[in-house]
Each structure stands twice: as C-alpha cells, then as structure tokens.
A and B are shown apart, each in its own frame.
Chain A
C-alpha cells in the first residue's frame, strides 16, 4: 500500500473513484507477498502490482468492474485454479486477491 499511497491520494484529490486489489494469500512460489497492492483509477490508470505481471490484466478488469458496481470480490489465480488457467502465474504459484472500490 505504501508504494501506491501518493498516487491514490492524488487520484482521490482529483475526484476520481479508485479500486484497490490486495494480495491476501499466496501458495507455493509467488512473486509478491500478502499486502502487495495494485490500484486502478476511474480513468483507467494503474499503480503498483500484485504479481510479476502475469495476472495484472485480469485483476485490472476486476478492478474496473469494482469501480463501476461497488461490489467487492475475492479472486484467485494460479495453475491450481482451473478456471483461471489462462492467466496462470508463470512461476507456478497461486495468489488470492481481494478487489474493492476504495469508498472507505
């Protein structure tokens, strides 16, 4: 969160709505630890990351949907998750990401 804090504050200062995606769990070998954050602005700008780049585009879609609907969601990515095989982590781990609109 700390690495994207200034950017989020700037977006909010501009009156933009913001979604944050946070790594809340990892299994096996994953590139980012729990607590890593990717933030997305209403206009589609991105700051931070939740993986080494493997699942960012999928998380980005979830974040944009969260901004639009306000609905939080817990999503998982990795080779052990058959539904998410197309965006599986190159390093073979699994990550669980909580995506929410920042309206708190």
Chain B
C-alpha cells in the first residue's frame, strides 16, 4: 500500500492523519504519514521522524496546518530541515436542535461548510431523515440530555432552533458548560429577553449569557429558512475570525485575517 493510498483511506474514513513533507534541500519531497498510533514513510533520519511525528500529533489535536523547522536529527532548535505538516483533523461538528424547516436548510449549509451535522428533536414525528435529508444523523432525544453526553470541542457549533422555553432553557444551560465555539439561539428579542431572565434566575453568569448569539445570525434581513441558514452560517464564520460582518466595500481593513506566519 502506498502512502497516498493510506492517506486517501484515512481521509475517506474521516480518520485523523497528518502528512509531513520536506519542502527544500536535496531530500525535498520525503514524507512521513502520521496517525495517532502509527507512522509510515521516512523523512531522512529516525530521530527526525520521531520529532516530526510529535509535532504532527500536536497540530492534529488543534486541527492546524503549519510549517516547522528542525535539525537533521530532529533537534527542535535546528534550521536545516523545513517541514510542511498538513493536519487532517476530523470534521467539526454541528448540532442543530429542533427539527423544523429552518433545520433542514441549516443542515444543508452545515454540510456545505464541512461540518458533520446532527439534528436533534424530542418528537419522533418530526425528527426523521425524510424531513432533514442532508443531516448526517437525525436523533430522537431530549436536546439537553443529548448534549450532556455529546462530544463538543472549540470548533463545535450549537444551533438552538427549538424555539420553546421548555427545551431552550435546559439546553442552553448545558450548552454554556461546553467549550463550543458558537452557541446560537433562534427567537425574537423579546423571546431572548425572557430566556435571559430565566437563565439568570437559574444562576447563569452574565459573562456566560454573552456567549449566546441571539437573535441568531448576521443582520442581512433574512426571511426564508434558506436565507436564515446563510445568515447563521455567516455569523459562525465571522465569530470564528473575530469579525463584525458587514460589507467589505465599506471597510479599509485587510480582506483576510493573517494566518500562519511566513515561511522561516
């Protein structure tokens, strides 16, 4: 099995893998394929392979792709070897709570953006794959009980479309205990004011309440489920990049945020 075949197999299976490549010098193109528990290939020396695998696993943990320099034998202070480490972390997860028309559009755009999308609703009649065909999973469960056990990390998006205080409040209390990068809740300003009141009464701190994006989405005047899904998706991206939204044509700041530093 070639390195490429192993890489392709892992990518198809959404299994975490990093591909390390020497990008200059006589050994440019040398490769190491790094899994959690295994490596394949050779960058030049055994010690360099060990050092590169360690760095690749650290980058995999945060889903980051970067260039690193090492010495010939993997010395961290060395500069002889330049490595490009492409980390292929599993897809980020989006949980959509409430199986309504908006959820169908949300599941669709979530998939489009590369999320693994799970839709959760306590009502078996509504939580069906027929109604939400684009979701990876449709689960019949109480939203708060589901989220208590679901894996959540900083890349996770939680979209609360349940729109009903009896679901919203317990769910948001659980959501605010996670490190989810995005927590959005649908509802009018008045609905959200009521939610805030109830959550405060339940002892949730103001700093935590500020993590909830509500009313949900960027201000683009969205009306239909599809337009609303786009407005929510745009808000998820803007928050991740710490941008305010708005028109680029009306600003003077750089179009893209600075990413990885320049090659050393």
Contacts and interface: CB of A to CB of B under 8 A. Distances in A.
A74 B51 CA distance: 23
Contacts, number: 77
A100 B254 contact: no
Interface in A38-74: 72-74
B28 A72 contact: yes
Contacts of A74: 23-24, 28
Interface string B156-169: 00000000000000
A34 B111 CA distance: 22
B3 interface: yes
Nearest to B84: A24
B259 A34 contact: yes
A25 B263 contact: yes
A97 B152 CA distance: 34
Interface in A1-49: 1-2, 5, 8-9, 12, 22, 24-31, 33-35
B104 interface: no
Interface string A63-104: 000000000111000000000000000010110101010101
A87 B117 CA distance: 40
Nearest to B24: A74
B66 interface: yes
Interface residues of B, number: 29
Most chain A CB neighbours (cut-off 10 Å) among B2, B67, B260:
B260
Contact of A22 (B84, B254, B263): B84
Nearest to A12: B4
B23 A29 contact: no
A17 to B, nearest CB: 12
B21 A98 contact: yes
Contacts of A100: 21, 28-29
Contacts of A73: 28
B66 A34 contact: yes
B86 A104 contact: no
A25 B3 contact: no
B241 to A, nearest CB: 12
B256 interface: yes
Contact of B4 (A25, A34, A104): A104
A102 B4 contact: yes
Contacts of A27: 262
9 contacts: A24-B263, A28-B254, A30-B256, A31-B256, A34-B67, A91-B255, A98-B84, A100-B28, A104-B41
9 tightest CB-CB pairs across the interface, nearest first? A25-B263, A72-B29, A35-B65, A24-B84, A27-B262, A29-B256, A104-B3, A72-B28, A98-B23
Given A35-B65, A104-B3, 16 more contacts: A2-B88, A5-B8, A8-B8, A24-B263, A25-B84, A26-B259, A26-B262, A33-B65, A34-B259, A72-B28, A72-B29, A74-B28, A98-B23, A100-B28, A100-B29, A104-B29
Interface of A: 1-2, 5, 8-9, 12, 22, 24-31, 33-35, 72-74, 91, 93-94, 96, 98, 100, 102, 104
Interface of B: 2-4, 7-8, 11-12, 19, 21, 23-24, 28-29, 31, 41, 65-67, 84, 86, 88, 254-256, 258-260, 262-263
